[in-house]
Amino acid sequence: MGPEAPDDTICAVATPVGEGGIGILKISGAGAFQVLQRLFRPHKSVGTLQSHRLHHGWIHDPESGQAVDEVLVSYMAAPHTYTREDVVEINCHSGYWVLDHILQLVLKSGVRLAEPGEFTRRAFLHGRIDLSQAEAVIEVIRSKSHHHLLMANRSLRGGCRTRVQSWRESLLELQARLEASIDFSDDLEEGEASGWEAWAESLEQDLCRPLTRYLEEYESTRVLREGLTLVLVGKPNVGKSSLLNVLLGKDRAIVTPLPGTTRDVIEDTFLLSGILVRILDTAGIRREPDEIESLGIERTLRSVDEADIALWLIDRSSSLTPEDDAVFEALSGIPFMILLNKSDLSPHLSPEDVRKRYGGSPLIMPLSVLNPRDIERLRETLADRYLSRPLDTRRSEFIPNLRQKECLEGALRALRETQKLLASGKDTELACLELDSARRQLDAILGREPDDELLDRIFSQFCIGK
């Protein structure tokens, strides 16, 4: 048995604290309407307040009779509400004092302050949404790019549920066939697939393959959720900060003709093909730095560690030096692209020179940071190389988050175990237990039998009022 649906009434301020156009206070539970009747005086006497309509009026302090704020309120009768309970929303002016005053009046009416995520938790406990949809609510709130939002919305609309339920049904059907001990004997006409073969083929096609594909997508789509981290590296004065500024479209970093201008790591974000890119501009790497530069270089190396991809800038109007070798050493273990910058000046270096010195594999792109067409080409190349695969998953019904990925891994492990058991002696009883375990993992994705600890872990990530 999972946790029970609660029966008390909760409230919270749903909008960020501070001065603003409107602030919204939400109340949910069987007592919500009574609170409204106690505190709200409609502008026009309208008889009973109609559900799912906005009503104009004033919040009054019932003890002093004083008007507190002019508001619009909505009363939404269960069950067609966010929580499936009676819900009241009070739209008042947003100021710290106003909101807090109304909140205190609501609390005095016998209502409890909501925990973080408690409204959504109630929506889940009352069965309006499953756990994957509840998790999608957090993703929608946190999404920082177009594709992240699209992805979260797919789960919010039930994409994960639909997919997982269909796997669950296939699994139950396979389990039923196994339990009924269908004729797995091999005494069949030549060329005819045995019942056993057909069963094993279904397990592979309907479950193992799609689960594997969704797990692979988790890896390749991490950037949709977390964004892509790019680090700009190179020796001093090669144009790193200039490139940062053009990619961001603003003067974020100081650019001078003097080597050693950037001393610290400068961080900002921009969007590339609708995906959030975090970009780090770093101190140029040199062989014999002064004390401040040494600290900067240490930070450069740390930034390289945390980045997904490095853009290594080389000034092609001068020759390669041991400092470039030092950059090359720093880049071991991270994918990188070489940008032969300052191509507008007369070149000293060709892509072949660089390839000869540092090996053939990395992509080498001649460009000038001063040329907008080159920058456009760079954006296209980056999107093509690093974002096309994650963007290609737009056809999938959902993209698993970490928790869901772990459940899928558990399910797949149990399915592989089933295959092994059946291949070596066809022990159907043990195999059925494994199928059961796979089913439980799928159920966990949707939160079919959740425990309080799991729910606390998920809903504590929410803000208060959601």
Ligand X SMILES: Nc1nc2c(ncn2[C@@H]2O[C@H](COP(=O)(O)OP(=O)(O)OP(=O)(O)O)[C@@H](O)[C@H]2O)c(=O)[nH]1
Rule CB under 6 A: which residues touch ligand X?
234, 236-242, 255-257, 259-262, 284, 341-342, 344-345, 368-370
Is the preceding peptide bond at 372 cis, omega within 30 degrees of 0?
Answer: no
Residue 242 interacts with which of Mg ion, ligand X, none, CB < 5 to 8 Å by class: ligand X
Q: How far apart are CA 87 and CA 31, in angstroms?
A: 9
- Give min distance, CB of 237 to ligand X, in A: 4
Residue 247 or 412 with smaller CB distance to ligand X: 247
Residue 121 or 240 with smaller CB distance to Mg ion: 240
- Give min distance, CB of 286 to ligand X, in A: 9
Residue 143 or 262 with smaller CB distance to Mg ion: 262
Compute the half-sphere exposure of residue 355: CA atoms within 13 Å on the CB side of its CA. 10
Residue 83 or 245 with smaller CB distance to Mg ion: 245
Residue 251 or 380 with smaller CB distance to Mg ion: 251
- Token pair for residue 225? 């959720």
Residue 465 interacts with which of ligand X, Mg ion, none, CB < 5 to 8 Å by class: none
CB 10 within 8 A of CB 113: yes
φ/ψ region of 29 (left if φ > 0, alpha if ψ in -120 to 50, else beta) reads: left
CB 284 within 8 A of CB 236: yes
Q: If you compute the radius of gyration of the chain from its CA atoms, what whole number of angstroms results?
A: 30
Secondary element (H or E) of residue 133: helix 131-142
- Give min distance, CB of 299 to ligand X, in A: 13
Residue 269 interacts with which of Mg ion, ligand X, none, CB < 5 to 8 Å by class: none
Residue 345 interacts with which of ligand X, Mg ion, none, CB < 5 to 8 Å by class: ligand X
Residue 237 interacts with which of ligand X, Mg ion, none, CB < 5 to 8 Å by class: ligand X
Residue 265 or 391 with smaller CB distance to ligand X: 265
Which of 173, 278, 216 lies closest to 409 in space, CA to CA? 216
- Give min distance, CB of 245 to Mg ion, in A: 10
- Give min distance, CB of 271 to ligand X, in A: 22
Residue 95 or 347 with smaller CB distance to ligand X: 347
φ/ψ region of 19 (left if φ > 0, alpha if ψ in -120 to 50, else beta) reads: beta
Residue 122 interacts with which of ligand X, Mg ion, none, CB < 5 to 8 Å by class: none
Residues 6+ apart with CB under 8 A from 108: none
Residue 327 or 399 with smaller CB distance to Mg ion: 327
Residue 401 interacts with which of ligand X, Mg ion, none, CB < 5 to 8 Å by class: none
Residue 143 interacts with which of Mg ion, ligand X, none, CB < 5 to 8 Å by class: none
In the chain, what is the straight-line distance between the N-terminal and C-terminal CA atoms, in Å? 25
Q: How far apart are CA 197 and CA 8, in angstroms?
A: 55
- Give min distance, CB of 241 to ligand X, in A: 3
Q: How far apart are CA 442 and CA 454, in angstroms?
A: 15
- Give min distance, CB of 247 to ligand X, in A: 12
Residue 64 or 346 with smaller CB distance to ligand X: 346
Cα 94 to chain centroid, rounded: 29
Residues 6+ apart with CB under 8 A from 428: 178, 179, 181, 422
- Give min distance, CB of 260 to ligand X, in A: 5
- Give min distance, CB of 315 to ligand X, in A: 8
Residue 154 interacts with which of Mg ion, ligand X, none, CB < 5 to 8 Å by class: none
- Token pair for residue 251? 């003067």
Secondary element (H or E) of residue 438: helix 428-446
Helix (H, G, I), strand (E, B) or coil at 266: strand
Helix-strand-coil split of the chain, %, nearest 5: 45, 20, 35
CB 269 within 8 A of CB 279: yes
Residue 139 or 315 with smaller CB distance to ligand X: 315
Residue 447 interacts with which of ligand X, Mg ion, none, CB < 5 to 8 Å by class: none
Neighbours of 24 (CB within 10 A): 18
- Applying CB under 5 A, which residues contact Mg ion? 240-241, 261-262
- Give min distance, CB of 378 to ligand X, in A: 12
